[in-house]
Amino acid sequence: MEVSYLTKTLVMFATFTTLALAQTYGGGGTRIGFYKSTCPKVESIVQSVVQSAVQAKPTNAPGILRMFFHDCFINGCDASLLIDGASTEKAAVPNSLLRGFDVIDAAKSQLEKTCPGVVSCADILALAARDSVVLTGGRSWQVPLGRRDGLVSRGSDTANLPAFNDPISVQIKKFADKGLNIQDLVTLVGGHTIGTAACGVFSYRLYNFNNTNGPDPDINPSFLPQLRALCPNGGDRSVRVALDTGSVNSFGSSFYTNLRNGRGVIESDAKLWSDPTTQKFVRRFLGYRGLLGLKFDVEFGKAMVKLGNVGVKTGKQGEIRKVCTATN
């Protein structure tokens, strides 16, 4: 009995230790409280800058969230997306409509005055993405820090970004290549609950989808006139439309309700419902009876921590930039 009791005690201790470490360390060398002694005000400074920016211009919130996603998907979360230059990631077509770069630059400028040479641009972007979600009504999460900034930024690498018309199989492959599973995919795409898309990104679905002379059948017929009114055939391709109808500036699970109702704007989003591989996770977020439910706001934070540890650079792999727009 003594051996059995001791064994159980050791197992329980190991379990609690593992949970504690999981809460403290995000993986890839990052951890909670990384700047506790070197720059204790880092989170409050970033939060203040992001809050002012979002209040002045609500589109900054989805812009910063997209920026974080695009940065992490291209050679890891290393702020390589922020580097200026004619052939950099920032200048590439898939990133041409991103916004919020000035917000990250402003936070970096303030941090350099408070803690010069300490906080990476990659960590600022990770914190700003979290704050953007919170400021639009999402739940907060602890962001493991300790990333260093990348030294290379190539526009050609953006070819690996998930695309607006990727089939589910391709989406799954691209996420799996980053160590992210199908649930992570469905969860992170839920970030489209805030923000907009240009008509040029999806209007092909409205008129002559796949040369059928008709719309994409995944679009609810009752939703089609609304999209066509916003994006008339041959009209202005730069007009922007909410990705989550009725929730453009409010973070929540309504995005999945719209997918179920055939009101997904982007083709790759709509496929999350039409493909059974991903639909089962959408159903779990919607609380379908008989399925183990998932709370979107909780799972989103967990998935963001996983995303934030993709390709993290530590030690001599990177640097702490003096400005986010250029390497030292």
Annotated binding site: 71, 76, 78, 80, 89, 162, 192-193, 244
Describe the crossing of helices 276-285 and 267-274 by its angle, rounded to 10 degrees. 90
* Positive or negative: CA dihedral 263, 264, 266, 268: negative
Whether 195 contacts 248, CB under 8 Å = yes
Q: Active site includes 224?
A: no
Can you give the pLDDT at residue 255? 96
Q: Extract the annotated binding site for substrate.
A: 162
Q: Which residues fall in the annotated binding site for heme b?
A: 192
Q: Which tokens in the block code for residue 145?
A: 């820090």
Query: What is the dotted CATH code of the domain comprising 168-305?
Result: 1.10.420.10
- CATH 3.40.50.300 applies to domain 35-161+310-317: no
- Spatial distance between the Cα atoms of 258 and 268, rounded to a whole number of angstroms: 14
- Tell me the mean pLDDT per 10 residues along the chain, length 328: 42 39 57 95 98 97 97 96 96 92 98 97 98 96 96 94 95 96 97 96 95 95 97 95 93 95 97 96 84 82 97 89 96
Distance CA 156, CA 88 (A): 8
Residue 97: the pLDDT is 87
In sequence order, which ranges of the chain are alpha helices (DSSP H)? 2-24, 42-56, 60-73, 101-114, 121-135, 168-176, 182-189, 199-202, 204-207, 224-230, 254-260, 267-274, 276-285, 296-307
Q: Which ranges in the chain are annotated with CATH 1.10.520.10? A: 35-161+310-317
Give the per-residue pLDDT at 293. 66
Which is the catalytic residue, given 28, 30, 70, 256? 70
- The residues of the chain that CATH labels 1.10.420.10 are 168-305
Binding site for Ca(2+), residues?
A: 71, 76, 78, 80, 89, 193, 244
pLDDT for 289 equals 61
